[in-house]
Every structure is written in structure tokens, then in C-alpha cells.
Structure 1
């Protein structure tokens, strides 16, 4: 068991190329062994049977063994002496002793010991006329012989045998053929094994060459280069499938790392923003509390003034915290509750709310005749309009008018915008929208048809915004001038919330100059699809008749 365990440990440390080469060579070796043994087991019996057939033919007609012109029925000693040296030919007496043979200068140890096998006349007569196997004999040195016998008759006397003619053939030739076969087969087998090992090594090396590229790519990725990808030359191979799978995994890993970095950055920004903006009101609250504790506030008027300031700072801190939480939720890119929204109706509602909070202002709505429908989250869009109106009210003179202008944009948008709209997440559906797939929103089933954009504008008539800072005003806690300070300018998060909402809807928000003076905030949102043709949805949603 210990040896097997050690072997398994060593085998696990061997490279894949070496393992495949060893296994291939081992399979070739086993195949050659089986082929060699099988051929050997068949070859020798075939040669033996062939020799038996030749001996049987010689028994019936022994003239081929003797010199030409020899009469097998009147053999002489000279005829036997000059017989084919391949065979052992002997004339035996009736008792089985050798009278004369063709041994000549052959060594006696190599000749069959005929006397030990009792090949008498009676024995030969018993085998006459029968199809029997050759006689198996051996010599003193171990040489194996196989022979046949035939009777020789006395001249002029019918059916009277005078002796036995023995013709034997050695199996040495068969053994030589088998030995030659073994040598040739072994040589070719070794050549096949070496060639197979070389070809296997070359094939495995070339086939697994992309794995080296995978290894190199993985090494570069481990060093921090997450942009590296595996080049898949043959996508239909196993290595190609591995490369594709690794590329998909790397894309997802890269996306996860980027999302992690964005999350960390958002958290750092949130903490920084909160600490930066909450520091001043907290210092104020702490200062008034210390004054009260030290007895510096003597009169009820001083205490009331301090409590009023503490209350205002607390309200301001509450507003800051709520705005920061709103931005944090928008940064999380939570799924939107998408639905068809009438911009005319949203503009009217926003104007009514604004008039209720500022009765001295003229807040008007310029509606679009076609009543354009935006595709978005109703609560977020209402918050978007409210923030823009609040920004206009705060940074324009008292009584200055504000207009909400709704416009339909029928022109097609570019492919990039279409792709962006199609990626809008939809809450509850677990899917993303597409140009033809139904989406689940607050108004039921909606088919996204991003063929155009809708627009609304918040137009004020204040000082306006210089062109060089129009991109900066959407930053968090950014204030254009001294008029937008912590006391009168709000938290500095309203426009940042506007930008986050618009980006979540894959829209755009820009600032332009109002003719005659002022700022115009223009918001473009994806248009909702046109209403389906009459009867289309009814046909899709019509209940199916029950099976009878």
C-alpha cells in the first residue's frame, strides 16, 4: 500500500504531456505484445501443418526426395545415399534397425534416434494406407524430427514387404522462421513505439500550446493586469472552449472588481461629503451648547435665539442627511419602476405644488400638443422636476417667473442611445428591457420602443449660469458663487441628485442660456412606445377556451 501511495504521489507530479506520452507508449507496447504473441501462436501451427502436408505428399509419392530417374519401388543404397539432404532418409530392416541412410558426414547427435521408436515392419504396415500424423522423433542434441514411413516390397512378390522406408524432416527450419519473425517483429515494434512516442509528444505539445498562453495570461493577470484576455484560435476545440470560458470568467471578474471599486469610491465619497457638510452645523450646535453650559446666555432672548439657531442647524443637517441618502440610493443603481409617464401631467402637478409653496411667483406650463410619454420611474421623475424648480426658485429674484416647457422629439436617436435605453433595469422582472420584449412596470405590460426622446425644460429669468461652469454645477456640494453659501444656497446636492436620476434613466441634462437672461435646464428622457394597435394586446391577453 505504501508503494502504491508513493507511486500515486509521484504520478500526480508528472506533467500532462509526459503522462499522455507514457500512456500512449504503454498502449502501443501492449498492442504490439498482443499482436506478436497472437501471430506467434498462429504462425508455428501453420508451419507445422504445412510440413505435415508436405510429408503426407512425400509418403504418397517419394520421388521428389530422390535423384531424378530413381524408381522408389527398386531403391538401392546409392539411391538412399544421394537423397535430398534436407530430409533424413533411411532404409529400415523388418525389426526396425537402420540398414543404410543418407547421414553421410552429419553428426550422429543431430540425427533422430530411430531405434528408440520401434519403427518395425509390423508398425509401418499398421500405418500403411491410413491418414495419420507424422511420427514425432528427437535427436540426442534435442533436435525435433517428424517423419513418415512407407513399405518396400520384394521384387516379383506381391504383398510381401522387404523393409520400411523412413523419410523425416527436422523442425529446425520452422524454428528458424519463427526466430526470424520474432527478430523482425521486435525491430519493427521498437520502431513503432519510438515513432509513436515522438509523434504523440509533438501532437500533445502543439495541441496544448494554447495552454501555455493561458498560463502566461493567468500569470500576467495575477500580477495585476486585468485587461489581459486569452486569444482563442480554434474555438471548437477543448482548449478553445476552455479559453472562451476563462474569458467569460475574466470579464465577470473584471466587472466585479470594477463594481467593487465603484462601491468603495461611492462609500468614500459619501463619508467625505457627509463629514464635510455636517462639520459646520455640528460646530454651530456645539458652540451654542457650550455657551449655554458656561452661562454666557443670560437673558431669555439670548437663550431663545440660541435654540432657534440650533433648531435651524438641526433642520439643515436633516436635509443634508436625506439628500446624501438619496444620492447613495441612486448610486446603488436600484431597479427602476418603469412606466409610461405623461410629461404634461407631471409638469402641471409640479407647477401646482410650486405655486402652493411660492404664491408670489408666476409658474406656468407650456404643454406639448402631442402629450409625449416618457418611459421612467414616476417618483424619480417628480423628484427631478421638483429639484430643478427648487433650484430655480432659490437662485432667482423674488417674483421672477418660471416656465415648465414640455416638448416631444420625434427624430430617431442614435444606436448608442438605443442600446443604453435597452439596458434600463426594471424592478420585479429580473430582466432588462429590449426593443421588442414586454417589460413589467407600474402600469402593467409595456413594450419598449426607443425610437425617440422626450424633453422638458425648466426656464428661469435670473442671472443665469456662465458657460464655463455649466458642467461643474452638477457636482456634489459645488456652489457657483458666494450667493450659494450654506445659509442661502441649500445643501449643494440638489443638482447632483438631478444628474444621478437622469443618468439612471439613460437620459441627458444640460444647462443653456434663457433668451433675455436666465438659465434653462433641459432634460431629455427616453420616450415610451406608441400605444399598440387596437386588438393586438386583446388577442395576446384573450383567455384561451377551456378544453371540453
Structure 2
């Protein structure tokens, strides 16, 4: 739009400038014709330029008076006879010296040979041309006429004409620039007002993009305002289409949430119902082992396997039930928990379960306290230690490090085992995710330990992550810091800072 207006302004301005140029030159040509007529007419007086040339009297009369007064100064009137000296020159005011001289009369100033040569070379008889004579003189409009057998050069200064052209060009340019500025400002205002509904549509889409849609119940209430859904406009069509898409996505999210709730409820109900028969199976297996009757070795082995698998199944059911409760958003206890004491207890339990590993503690001088469910947070550390014990060979070193960074408490479990496969790391906290091919397994697991870690930490408004390479795996848990607890006495807080095996 601005480009089109610019081109249009340049065309109009150029046309006006060309028309003015033509008009001014036509006026100058008319003046030259009038001057030629005055020179070619009969003389009316005896005053003239000294010399035998018959044009003396005519030239003197032409520059002294006329129908409109004295001839304009700065003009050029030169007669160049064949074989004679030039007559005339540059018209200039005459200095009044005698009573015969009248105010307003003019006289001639001779032109230099260079100027005369320029006149002869630039224009021919019965032609007109714009000539620059150099020196301090302006550009001239020159006409050559044949009068009484002599060549007469008539010139009028273009100074005023050129000044007029420059003034008009500057004025036209200012008008064009001003018009473009006004048009640009007005166009920007119109475009801004026209696109304002699109801004509201984009704002709605931005708010939707910031919603958490991957889990839980999602209330997709954001919609484009009705005023921006007019199907008669392009923006309205976009807004209406976005609303239809949001309706479709909202229905899909509601269906997904309903399905998830059904699955969670089923898992919770099944886990709850399985606890009783599993307890019965374990009880009967224990009773069979305690029987006074002699049991064959094969049957005793089978009973031991039944009891072992019943325990494993019970642990799996308990984990599933815990995850179902966490997914349902069940409130957790909100107590002050000393993570240093929790790390000591969990490491002691891990040492008892895995005496073949080296267990180390790296604790700060002051307690690190968070607000949360102590039992669940203990389970987080215990699961991380169990994961390290299960997936590293005997002789590996596992270090539990507790500290704080800014407003967060940090727990790290570091082992020097074989590491985790790179393709497993992104899904390590998913349920039943396994990376057994890269990490040694001395015992089976349910595949839910790290999922429980992630769920418990998330329920405490924290974060958990993992970094792994061959020779080092680091699990990092970050939790919001709580108020500092009362510092326990030496008897209440056992020292366990040296490596234990």
C-alpha cells in the first residue's frame, strides 16, 4: 500500500514538474520572440552603442524601453556579423551620469571570447537551447535569429525559472512525504484495529498452550469470545474453528480422564481385594512349613517358592495401591521431616539388605528440613537405594548426599555401576520401565519403584531427575525447604559418616 502511494505520488509530482518546466520554457520562448521582434523593427531614436554597426540604435532602443518598460537586466543580446566585431552583450543597468540618461535605462557589458565561442557552438540559427556560459553567469535560454542578414543571439536567464522548479519540487516532495506519513499512520491504525480480534484469538490459543494437558482432570474452559467468531470475516472464521477444535479436544480430554479414573479405580479395587487372598496364601505356606510332619524336599521347595512369590505379589499390590492413591490426589501428611536423619535410617536399612555394597553418607553440618509425609519420603530414598543395589554388582559404592541449594533441599543417590542405557533414561520413571540389559540384576523388582519415587516427589511439589554414564549414575531429588527443626542431641542423632560395609 505504501509502495503504491509512493509510486503514485512520484508520478503525479513528476508530471506536475514536467508541466511547469514546459510552461516556463514556453513563456521564456515567447519573451525571446517578443525581444526579436523589437530588435528587428525600425529604430525610433538616435542613441546607440558606439560603432558603425547598423544595429546600434535598435539594440539601444530595445534595452531602454518597450511596451512593458525597460528590457530586463541579465539578458543577452549579441549580434555577430560576418567578419566584424560582436555588438551587444549582457544587459545591465546604466549608471546615470548626464541629464540625457533616464533612470531605468540599461547598457551592455561585453561577453568574453569564451562565452561567444560557447554561443556559436551550442546553438544554430532558428534554434533554441539551454546554455551554461560558465563564470558566474546563470544558465540561459538562448535563441538565434537571422535579422537583416546578421546572426543575432538572444538569451534570457533561467535563474528564476530554475528556482521556481526547485521550489515546486521541494514543495511536492514535502507533500508526498507528508502524505505517505499520514497514510502510513492511518494504515497502521486501521490494520491494528482490524487485527485486534486476531490478537484475542492468539491470546486464547496461548492460554490453552500453557495448560497442563498430559495428566489429571483438565478443565478446558478457554474459548474465543463470541464477538470474534463472526463467520462473515476471516478472523471470525479462525476464531470459530479454534472454538470447535477446543470443544473437540475438551471432549477427548474428558473421555481420557474418565477412562483413567476407571483404570485407577479398578487398580485400587483390585489391589485392595488381592491383599486378603495373598495374605491367606502366605499364611498357608508358612503353616505348611511349620507342620510337624515330614515334607518331601520337592514340596518344601515349592512351598518356599509359593511364599516368596506371594510376598513379591503383595509388594506389587501395595505399590499399585499407593500409586492409585497418589494419582487420585489423596492428601499427604504435612510434618517437618529431617532429611539427614531420614538418609541415615534408609542407608542403614540398605546396608542390612545389601552387605556386598559399600554404603557412604555425605551429610551437612546442619539438618535439612522439609514439610511432607515422612513415611513416603523415606520410601523415596529407600527405593532409590534399592534401585542402586539391584542394578549394580556387588562391590559397587553407593553414596547418599544431602544438602540444599537456594530454597530447595537436595538428596542425591550416586553409584559407580555400569550406568543406564541412553534410550532408557527418558522413560526411567515410567511404570514398569526396565533397563536390565545394561545394569546387573541380582534380584527381581516390580518395576514400580522409580514410578513411586516420581509420584511421591511430585506430590510434594518437588522434582526428580537422573544423569547416567558408564561408571556413574546420579539420581537427584529436589524438595521445597521447610522451617529448621530443633537440633537433636548427640544421643538422638547417631553418627554415620564413615563408609560402612
Q: What range describes the TM-score normalised by the shorter chain of this pair? A: 0.3 to 0.5
Q: TM-score, normalised by structure 2?
A: 0.40
